[in-house]
Structures are given as C-alpha cells and as structure tokens.
Amino acid sequence: MQTKLTLRLDERLIAQAKARAQRQGKSLSQMVADYFAQFDTAATSIAMQHELPLPPLVASLQGQLRHAADPLADDGRQAYYDHLQAKHQ
C-alpha cells in the first residue's frame, strides 16, 4: 500500500533532485523510495556498522578467536572440566 509523504525542502534542492531524477529516467518519488529502501538492506546495515573505525585495541583483537579451540568441543571439554575442578577446590 502506498501512502503520500510531504517533504519541506529548499526550492533549489527540489529542482536539483527533479533534474537528477529526469536524467536517470525516474520520478522523484521513485528516487526517494529507492533511497529509503536502502535503509532496509543487509548491505547497508553492514556498511553502516563499518562507518566508524574501530579503536586500535579492538582492531588488534579482531579475528583472534577465529582459530581458537572451542573449550567445550570434545577435544577441549576434559581440559575445561579439569580447570573448573581445580579452580573450585
């Protein structure tokens, strides 16, 4: 269902937007709809997450656990239980 939206913008900005829409062969409404649709895409949300650079400490830690053994995996489970038992004695 489509709903009407009223925007209050500077006349010069509206004229520029209309000209750009015409050059792209679209209506101004379609241009605005396309712009708003970008907010809902996964690619946009991922890009937005990366707009601010990570602090240096966090950046240095990024990806470090990728190859770490899962302490609860079968090969590490006994070591984890031994660690807990020693810790709580």
Q: What is the pLDDT of residue 58?
A: 84
Q: What is the pLDDT of residue 73?
A: 63
Q: CA-to-CA distance for 18 and 12, rounded, in angstroms?
A: 10
Residue pLDDT, tens place only, 9-60 = 999 999 999 999 999 999 999 998 888 887 776 565 666 666 777 788 888 8
Q: Is position 46 within any domain?
A: yes
Q: Is position 34 within any domain?
A: yes
Q: Is position 65 within any domain?
A: no
Number of structural domains, the chain? 1
Q: Is position 67 within any domain?
A: no
Q: CA-to-CA distance for 6 and 83, rounded, in angstroms?
A: 64
Q: Is position 87 within any domain?
A: no
Angle, helices 28-37/11-23, rounded to nearest 10 degrees: 90
Q: Is position 48 within any domain?
A: yes
Mean pLDDT of 62-88: 76
Q: Is position 57 within any domain?
A: no
Instruction: Name which of 1, 2, 3, 29 is nearest 17 in CA terms.
Output: 29
Q: pTM for the full model?
A: 0.44
